[in-house]
Structure 1
């Protein structure tokens, strides 16, 4: 998990997506599944990891969408 990765998290009664290390929210959703899908799209578009958190704030999953070069992560 690094600055620039996408994070899906819960705050203020909604699920949000943001770029880690930056202030501001990319999107907000009432339903976690919708936030996850949007977060995945942001991560794929940017070629970064997608960090998904439980309601408690603990990490649920980290999905890696960084580009590969000859089967080796760069």
Structure 2
């Protein structure tokens, strides 16, 4: 097995919610993946609020998806 040392700031360590200094590669990938997913969700929520999409009902969202798919299939 090989080892890789990565240096990150205390801020980044805390921001990732790390609680130990030795992780497997799989653990690190999972933690970073969750962080990226959370950031993407937060950005999506901001954009939805900015463009008034956060007020849409599930039925309206479904209708938009159907309309997009129909337009895509008919082009």
TM-score (norm 1): 0.32
Larger strand share, 1 or 2 = 1
Larger helix share, 1 or 2 = 2
Larger radius of gyration: 2
